[in-house]
Structure 1
Amino acid sequence: MLSFDTIVALSTPPGAGALAVIRLSGPEAVHITASIFSKKNLADQPGHTLHYGTLRDPNSAAILDEVVVALYHTPRSFTREDVVEISCHGSDYVVRQVLAVLLRQGARLAEAGEFTKRAFLNGALDLAQAEAVADLIAADSALSHRVALNQLRGGFSDELRGLRARLVQFASLLELELDFGEEDVEFADRSGLARLLTEVRGVVAGLLRSFELGSVIKNGITTVIAGRPNAGKSTLLNALLREERAIVSAIPGTTRDFIEDEVSLDSIRFRFVDTAGLRDNPADEVEAIGVRRTRERIGQAALLLYLFDLTNLTPAEVAADVAELTRELPQLPVLVVGNKLDAASEAQAAAFTDLNTEYPTPNTQHPTPHKLQPVLLSAATQTGLDNLQTALLAQVRGAGLEQSASATIVTNVRHARALETAASHLAAVQQGMEIAVGTELLAADLRHALAALGEITGEISSDDLLTSIFTQFCIGK
């Protein structure tokens, strides 16, 4: 275990509250706390115990607060050091006074993420698990919580370590061949290495594919609300968010740029994006820019919610709009929603309610049928809004998002970049074997691949990398 000084920080959010937790970690954590604790000698107490007493300022003997002190002795603590957690009353004044006394007694203020950094440096967590701590703190949906918890428990790290261990065996044999280069011997079975490379590249490719899903889980399901002007997109956004987030007007083209906000539906986070109305002849240059940005945003969406006005579009027109929007995005899920049910006639609503007709996509040599099964609602009166929410959740669950969240999923950009680097060098090794390049080139690419995988878990790291990661944590964690 590495040796550090003793750090202290407030681990609960700042501000008045019922309780505040002040955490110390380091070789003098228990001694420093004992020097201001009045009830008993904490140094004589076993770990994983709670102790009630008062804290006093040694200079004035004034009582600071009545507290409960939790003791954790090395190595059975989060940081694998002696750790003390002081639960005091959540007054800003009390917290400031307690911290000031602890600093005078020899502790220093912790830097951002320093507790978790010590856990990593002392071997309690690897780097991927340490980053999962931050993801778990930031998790605001059941799916993001599940993925972060799986990574914190080491699911992702175990998979990477298994891959790396198998590659290391071949890498060591290749390095051995270099030591006996003049004797022209092969210790590494090339056919076995080829099979392993194919398998490992498949696993790495699968992890890279999961990054798109991981991004959706971590950042929310980007759902673009698109349609013709005056379809009620801004009204629908306000209804979903239950607040007046977007300006609503009867004037077509009111929304010139996109507005986005988040809402959680049944523990699944959606990021809804209200966009400019789509039409062939925008009123001015600003609206034209808005239309172009809408199309760009659709290309970045995880789900397209196409909204149309029931009172002025036919099923054939709706089908043509959807087909045109998804022409270059055949895999993009689309939810078709008919708005203004409160203003539509029975015949207009029935045209979509009883819809069983398939309409061909336009402007193609071989039109393919596009079947419409729209959700009908009134965004203004919120009639049918529950049906829309049910349909949104069905889209997510139909895609297997919740089931996929139980598997190993990459959610971190740094991890994805390292996997891309590893994939590139593994491909180079395999290509080199096919054209019989020298062992030194194979060994070099394999070393680079191993280094990239090692960077994810922290088996290979630098001070700059660690600083970059842990400064993104909150102080006290």
Structure 2
Amino acid sequence: MNQDTICALATANGIGAIGIIRVSGDDAISIVQKSFQGKDLTQQKSHTVHYGYFVDGNEVIDEIMASVFLAPKSFTTENSVEISFHGSPHIGKKILEVLIKNGARMAKAGEFTMRAFMNGRIDLSQAESIADLITSENEASRKVALNQLKGGITNEISILRNDLLNFTSLIELELDFSEEDVEFADRSAMVKLIQNLKFKIQNLLDSFQYGNAVKNGIAVAIIGKPNAGKSTLLNALLKEERAIVSNIAGTTRDTIEEILYIKSHAFRLIDTAGLRETTDEIEAIGVKKAKEKVEKAEILVYLVDAATENFSEDIEMIKSLIRDDLKLIICATKIDEVIPTHYEKIEQIFRNEIADAFDFITISALENQNIQDLKNELSSYVEQLKSEEGNVVITNQRHYEALQKSLDAVLRVESAITGQIHTELLAYELRNALEHLGEISGEFTNDEVLGNIFSKFCIGK
């Protein structure tokens, strides 16, 4: 694969001020030079930019700037050229056609980054962080992805592997002298190391919940009986008329999803159909969808109308929806219509009936009262997910699974030591732990895994 010279559009499709085409491979500079009217690019120094025209025979296609990067001082560590052209999709297409005619081929998805990985420029976790950085939609996800690109996870895993590798080497040495019944590895020191490894790996695993929240946003289901004020609340949170508000029960029949950013974190707000028994076939589908959304949500904001007197249906509905891993916020809405002592009684009613922990907030979405209190409660949920140990946050499912396998292997190592199991089995479990940790950085992997990872990248990256 690395013998070919590849090319692709690096900027987004569509009209723009400029577009950039990347070319990488041994023959990248000479291939571009075939169609470049200006200085001889093959004679230029690395990291220089040159003005000229890109031509196809006698036809001038565009006025361009060509940036030259000589191996190994490029992203892929190969000879590379970046062509900046006027951002017409038609011009970009013409330039790519000529480059292919000159000897290049179109790059596959993620092939530039894959070459950077294969050539040792970055490790696998850094490669994945590039994709995360490109798709980051908020400040928190940008910071986490950038930390990973700078080697945050790699450095943490490297320390763990080096400590483990030292003992593995001593255990392997014991195998070479098995007939002499000698121990090179201090078992008591190894127990301390295993305890430390368990602690550090578990902290990384615990960070995944926060990392997932940062990367994908927190799903917040806004639920309640018809006309409890769900759509009004959604509009108040977003500060725009996103949902139709009406006094007619059952107005919202499908789910509406919008993103709300609070203190750099993303929340996926889901406005749902009012929960009630209904003979309307379409509304019934909406109610079913609402319950399905709650099953996938991390936070349930349940709205109760403070102006009503009977909350028995609300209490039964909440009891049917709550679960151990779901944060529950009960909001008494329309407080502008009642006196404070009334919604104080409402809170006591729910405290008496619902055993599970929940937060109680009073709001008036119509009058924009206490909306900030709800935002603060949502934000505090994410902040509580942060680990106090270290700055490395796991956001990748593949990393999480590899760490879990590593922890399982480390626990088996611990059992092998305390149970005085044969050295050969101990060495086997140590190698397992090392291999699973190495999967994160790509030291141990296979072509299928690599293909799956890089196929998710955009072409041109």
Give me the TM-score of the superposition, normalised by structure 1.
0.86
3-state DSSP of counterpart to 1:101: helix
3-state DSSP of counterpart to 2:36: coil
- Name the stretch that deviates more: 75-84 or 244-253: 244-253
Quick check: 1:337 aligned with 2:336? no
CA distance in 2, matches of 1:465, 1:91: 36
- Name the stretch that deviates more: 368-377 or 85-94: 368-377
3-state DSSP of counterpart to 2:75: coil
* Partner AA of 2:45 in structure 1: P
Q: Which residue of 2 aligns with 1:42?
A: 41
Q: Which residue of 1 aligns with 2:341?
A: 351
Q: Is the 8 A contact 1:338 1:377 kept in 2?
A: no
Quick check: 1:98 aligned with 2:120? no
Deviations 1:7-31 (A, max 9, x none): 1000011122211100001111111
Q: Is the 8 A contact 2:237 2:371 kept in 1?
A: no
CA distance in 1, matches of 2:256, 2:347: 34
Deviations 1:66-124 (A, max 9, x none): 01111111111111111110000111221111111111111111110000001101111
Aligned-residue Cα RMSD (Å) equals 3.2
Q: 1:97 to 1:296 in 2, by over 3 A?
A: closer
* Partner AA of 2:305 in structure 1: D
Q: Which residue of 1 aligns with 2:352?
A: 362
Q: Is the 8 A contact 1:47 1:71 kept in 2?
A: yes
* Partner AA of 2:459 in structure 1: I
CA distance in 1, matches of 2:40, 2:27: 14
Q: 1:204 to 1:284 in 2, by over 3 A?
A: farther
Q: Is the 8 A contact 2:229 2:365 kept in 1?
A: no
- Name the stretch that deviates more: 132-141 or 214-223: 214-223
Q: 1:302 aligns with which of 298, 302, 318?
A: 298
CA distance in 1, matches of 2:171, 2:378: 49
Q: Which residue of 2 aligns with 1:140?
A: 137
Q: 1:457 to 1:6 in 2, by over 3 A?
A: same
Q: How does 1:3-402 map to 2 (within 5 A)?
A: 4-57=3-56, 59=57, 61-241=58-238, 250=247, 252=249, 258-278=255-275, 294=290, 297-298=293-294, 300-313=296-309, 324=319, 328-329=323-324, 332-340=326-334, 344-345=336-337, 348-351=338-341, 361-362=351-352, 372-378=360-366, 383-384=367-368, 387-389=370-372, 391-393=374-376, 395-397=378-380, 399-400=382-383
- Unmatched 5+ residue regions in structure 2? none
Q: Compute the displacement of 1:434 (Å).
A: 1.9
Q: Compute the displacement of 1:133 (Å).
A: 0.3
Q: Is the 8 A contact 1:360 1:370 kept in 2?
A: no
* Partner AA of 1:417 in structure 2: E
Quick check: 1:445 aligned with 2:442? no
3-state DSSP of counterpart to 1:69: strand
3-state DSSP of counterpart to 1:71: strand
Q: Compute the displacement of 1:391 (Å).
A: 3.3
* Partner AA of 2:368 in structure 1: G
Q: 1:186 to 1:85 in 2, by over 3 A?
A: same
Q: Is the 8 A contact 2:306 2:343 kept in 1?
A: no
Q: Is the 8 A contact 2:333 2:362 kept in 1?
A: no
Q: Compute the displacement of 1:369 (Å).
A: 9.2
* Partner AA of 1:306 in structure 2: Y
Q: Is the 8 A contact 1:320 1:361 kept in 2?
A: no
- Unmatched 5+ residue regions in structure 1? none
CA distance in 2, matches of 1:369, 1:171: 47
Q: 2:406 aligns with which of 422, 430, 433?
A: 422
CA distance in 2, matches of 1:3, 1:30: 15
Q: 1:252 to 1:319 in 2, by over 3 A?
A: closer
Tell me how many residue pairs correspond in the alignment: 460
CA distance in 1, matches of 2:171, 2:380: 47
Q: 1:255 to 1:183 in 2, by over 3 A?
A: farther
Deviations 1:416-457 (A, max 9, x none): 111111111111111122222111111111111111110110
CA distance in 2, matches of 1:117, 1:327: 44
Q: Compute the displacement of 1:400 (Å).
A: 2.3
Q: Is the 8 A contact 2:154 2:441 kept in 1?
A: yes
* Partner AA of 1:33 in structure 2: V
Q: Compute the displacement of 1:228 (Å).
A: 2.5
Q: Compute the displacement of 1:276 (Å).
A: 4.2
What is the aligned-residue identity percentage? 42
